[in-house]
Amino acid sequence: MHTVHTIDSLVERERRRSNKTSTNAVIARKAFGDEIRKKLPIPTFIDDYNYHMGGVDLANQYRAAYETHKNVFRSWFCIFTALLDIVIVNCYRLSYVAAMQRNIPPNRLSKQATFRETLFQQLFAFSSHSTIQRRRYMQRHPPPIRNRAVGLHEWGNRATQQCCMQCRIEIAAAKKLRSQGLSVTNPPHTDSAGRATKSSRGCIQCDVPLCIRRGCWERFHAKK
């Protein structure tokens, strides 16, 4: 933020008198008089532009080298990828400046490609660790036992991995609504091929496979 009405709004900079053939020579040369060089008060926002105008171009250059932008119809996604690129570039520059302050030789400073590879590997490792932690938590804290008709229902492992029964029911119901020309308010969970999600766990009492984290257990056993 810059102001123009305080003492700090101006800074003295030595400037050279413009040539007579300059566009604004009649106005600009008056401040110099007979002097070729003279210190003049310059507004700080103009001074910042003069000394840092290359920073925007440099930032765009860093982002353009490894841009994550994609042509999509979702306007918000373009904003997300732009912010993601800005965050990654800023993190790289901060790590670069911190390395310089530790007197690391220039030939040992990491390049942007190396920084991005390390960042992606760490993010993937964190994601894999989080997935394992969630699975262990679900094993220690299974969904609550519900009654469908009679008897207790127990959550457990199955011998084979099969399509979730609740997902299959919801996919069939959605197809029926579409065939009647009706819209589906809650589309079912499917994989990339449009099929029901597979699960290696389910209800032992009902002998059906069910998803572990999508609420299929509750919806399946809530039916009468």
161 contacts 211 by C-beta, under 8 angstroms? no
- What pLDDT shows up at residue 148? 43
Amino acid type, 89: V
pTM: 0.42
Rg of the chain's alpha carbons, rounded to an integer? 32
- What pLDDT shows up at residue 85? 92
Amino acid type, 177: L
- What pLDDT shows up at residue 86? 92
Burial class (CB in 10 A: 0-12, 13-18, 19+), 169: middle
- Average pLDDT of span 107-123: 88
Give residue-wise pLDDT tens across range 14-67: 888 888 787 777 888 888 888 888 888 888 888 888 888 777 778 888 888 888
Asked if the model's pLDDT at residue 149 lies above 50, the reply is no
Asked if the model's pLDDT at residue 223 lies above 70, the reply is no
Task: State the pLDDT confidence band at 211, using cuts at 50, 70 and 90.
Answer: confident
The string of DSSP codes covering 83-152 is: HHHHHHHHHHHHHHHHHHHTT--GGGSPPHHHHHHHHHHHHHHHHHHHHHHHHHHHHHSPPPP--SSSS-
State whether the Cα torsion 77-80-86-92 is positive or negative.
negative
Q: Which two tokens stand for residue 206?
A: 């009902």
Residue of 87 and 110 predicted with greater confidence:
87
The number of angstroms, rounded, from the C-alpha of 138 to the middle of its chain's C-alpha atoms is 27
2 contacts 45 by C-beta, under 8 angstroms? yes
- What pLDDT shows up at residue 147? 46
